[in-house]
Amino acid sequence: MKMSVWSSFFLDLSPEDMVKAFVSKGWQYSELSTEHAEQLLSRGRPAVTGAAFLRYADEAGLAFPQGHLWLTCDIAGHDRENVVENLKPWLDLFLAAKIDLAVLHPGSYVRYAAGDDPDEIEAACVESLIKLADYLKGTSLVICLENLFSHARSSADLQRIIRAAGGKHLAICLDTGHLNLAGLDQTEFIKQSGSLLKALHITDNEGERDQHLIPYGIGNIKWDQVVRSLKAIGYNGLFNYEIPGDNRAPLAVRLAKLDYLRNLSEYFDALT
C-alpha cells in the first residue's frame, strides 16, 4: 500500500504550496481534495491547468493517483442533469493531471431526508453514473463510489449500483469513518469488495459523528484488523488518510503530525 494524506490537510495553502509541504516531509502520494481541485478549475481550461499542475507535482516528486470529485454534488438529486454536466470539467481536470481514481458520493442526502422512495433515488444515481461512465469511454479513469452512513452503506449496496450502471469505469472507495457510523464491519466490507476496492479514506471516529480523526486517538475503529484485511485481499492502492478533524492546527504542528503519520504507517506496513 502507498501511504497518502488527502491534500486538504493543507487546506490553507495553494495547490503548489501544498505540494511543497508534503514533499518537505518526504511524502510521495496524496489524494487531490475537492478544495484544491476547485482552485485549479478556477484558473481556466481544465485540460491546461491539470497538465500544468501535473508537471509541477511531477517535478517536485508528489503523485496524485487519487482525487475527490465535487464533494457536495448530488448525482441522484432533482438537478442531476446539470450536476452531471458540471462534473465533466472535473473529469477533464483529473484526466489531464493523470489522476486514475476519482472518488464520488453516490447521493442523495436531501432526497433520503425528504422521505423519497429509496429505489427511485438509486435509479437516479445509476442514471447519472451511466452518463459519467460514457463520458469516460476510452480513458483509464475510474470513478470510485464512496460508502455513506445514511444510505449506500454497505459493499453490497455499492456493488448493486455498479452492476446496474454497467460496471464500466466504476469501483469502490471505503470510508472507514462512514462505515463505523453505519455500524458495519470493516473486515466484511473489505472482503466483500475484493478487487473492486480501489480507494480508501482512512479516518476514525467514536461511532457517533463523522469526526475524521487520525487512527489510534479517541476513535474506536480496530485498525489492526482493517490493515490485515486489506493485506488479505492484496489491496495495493493508496492508504489515504482523510483527517480534517486533525488539520485545525498551525502549519508547524501539521508538519509534525506528518512525521507521526509516517511512523504510524510504518507500524501498519509491518503488520502480518
Q: Please count the residues of the chain.
A: 272
- Domain extent at residue 246: 2-270
Domain count, the chain: 1
Q: Could you report the per-residue pLDDT of 218-257, keeping only the tens digit for each? A: 999 999 999 999 999 999 999 999 999 999 999 999 999 9
CB 11 within 8 A of CB 34: no
Beta carbons within 8 Å of 145's beta carbon, 6+ residues apart = 104, 105, 106, 129, 152, 158, 161, 162, 170, 171, 172, 173
Q: Which residues of 3-16 are buried (b: 16+ CB within 10 A; e: fewer)?
A: bbbbbbbbeebebe
Label residue 56 exposed, middle or buried (CB < 10 Å: 0-12, 13-18, 19+). Answer: middle
Residue 5 one-letter amino acid: V
Q: What CATH number is associated with residue 125?
A: 3.20.20.150
Strand partners, 103: 68, 144
The reply to whether the predicted model has a pTM over 0.95 is yes
Residue 77 has which C-alpha cell? 438529486
| Band of pLDDT at residue 205, cut at 50, 70 and 90 | very high
pLDDT in tens, 116-173: 999 999 999 999 999 999 999 999 999 999 999 988 999 999 999 999 999 999 999 9
